[in-house]
Amino acid sequence: MKSNRAAWMRGNFGLMTHWLYQPVDTAVAEGSVEERVSEWNKRVDDFDVDALVEQLARTGAKWFILTIGQNTGFYCSPNPVYDELTGAALSKCSKRDLFRDLALAAQKKGIKALAYIPSGAPDRDFDACLKLGWQDGYFRDEDWRAITMPDGVRARRPNHRLADFQKKWERILACWSEAWGELCAGWFVDGVYFADQMYMFEKDPNFRSLAAALRAGNPNAAICFNHGILRVDQQEVLTEEEDYTSGELNRFLVIPFGWGKASEDTKNAYVDQAQMQFLNFLGTNWGQGTAPRLPDDLTIAWTRYIMENNASVTWDVPTSREGQIPESFVSTLSKINK
């Protein structure tokens, strides 16, 4: 193995939640910036990490992935570098370091905390995007806020490398990583859709420099780069810097083992020496739902099937505004290891 950073995932399962400013985090809420920032800080302050960790311990999950932020530009951990580079008069990074508090509480129960973050700037915060020099790789002209694509579909186009943005984003990520140190056991980096245009280069910035920023505070942090939904059984990694596969299934379940043409890597639950991991949501969508969408027997059997073949599973579950998982999900997940 090139690295043992993700060895603790092997044959185990963990949980994730899309705990964001809004359920799907795509639309900008109404109200002034001052009102929204105040509401966000109150919400972060009200998050009960001890109650959540007690639930995680009951399920037997070995790790938990928390979204630090996504599209709207509201983050649940302070980052002075982000504030400096965006030049915002009022920070959208919370005053409380929610990830740190959660990681400390989880550590007491032997549960590892990982951070979810996109590979790009928050594309619904246009001022931040402009200051950071970000374009998301979809077709846009100079006034990209005004672009309307037919039928609401954004056409994916190759874009220039965005090296200036990447260097800034690496500084932002390194700031969080250094603040958390070994409390951050790993990263799930989402939205790596334009690797050829942004990262597949020998000269920095590239995957190597991005991984270095993510590991600035913890050289043993396990990393994956999610480049989209897994459509077939065979997973892949983009770079040797990845320690586990992103494995996003998005509604579907796969049966990767026990068929004649499975590769030796697959049979051993590795993909180019990275730990094989599958990610799916157990509710109605990412971070949403009041009860599991699958029957308990199916959820338990499929999860155990993956684990018994030495691969890993991460289930995304919804949480309340205060960070608690609906009891129906806890009940289902707690049966996996029994």
Could you give the CA distance from residue 121 to residue 24 in angstroms, rounded to a whole number? 16
Question: What pLDDT score does 106 carry?
Answer: 98
pTM metric for this prediction: 0.92
| Whether residue 75 has pLDDT greater than 60 | yes
Inter-residue contact 173 to 116 (CB < 8 Å): no
Give the residue with greater pLDDT, 36 vs 8: 8
Summarize the confidence of residues 191-202 as an average pLDDT. Answer: 90
Q: What is the model's pLDDT at position 135?
A: 80
Q: Shortest CA distance to 232 belongs to which of 210, 253, 261?
A: 253
Residue 269 · residue 309 · CB < 8 Å: yes
Q: What percent of the chain has pLDDT over 70?
A: 88
- Model pLDDT, residue 153: 40
Statement: residue 251 has pLDDT above 90: no
Average the pLDDT over 186-210 and give the result.
Answer: 93
pLDDT attached to residue 102: 98
pLDDT attached to residue 235? 82
The tokens 């740190």 sit on which residue? 100
**Gyration radius (Cα) of the chain, Å:** 19
Q: Are strands 184-190 and 112-118 parallel, antiparallel or unpaired?
A: parallel
What does the pLDDT read at residue 319? Answer: 95
CA–CA gap between residue 56 and residue 90 (Å, rounded): 34
- Say whether pLDDT at 129 is over 70: yes
Is a pLDDT exceeding 70 seen at residue 147?
no
**CATH class as words, domain 7-333:** alpha beta
Cβ proximity of 274 and 238 under 8 Å: no
Distance CA(218)–CA(235), nearest Å, equals 26
pLDDT of the residue at 29: 64
Average pLDDT over residues 265-273: 87
Across 275-303, average pLDDT = 96
Among residues 109, 120, 58, 71, the alpha carbon closest in space to that of 330 is found at: 58
User: What's the pLDDT score for residue 125?
Assistant: 87
The per-residue pLDDT for range 87-104, each reduced to its tens digit, is 988 999 999 999 999 999
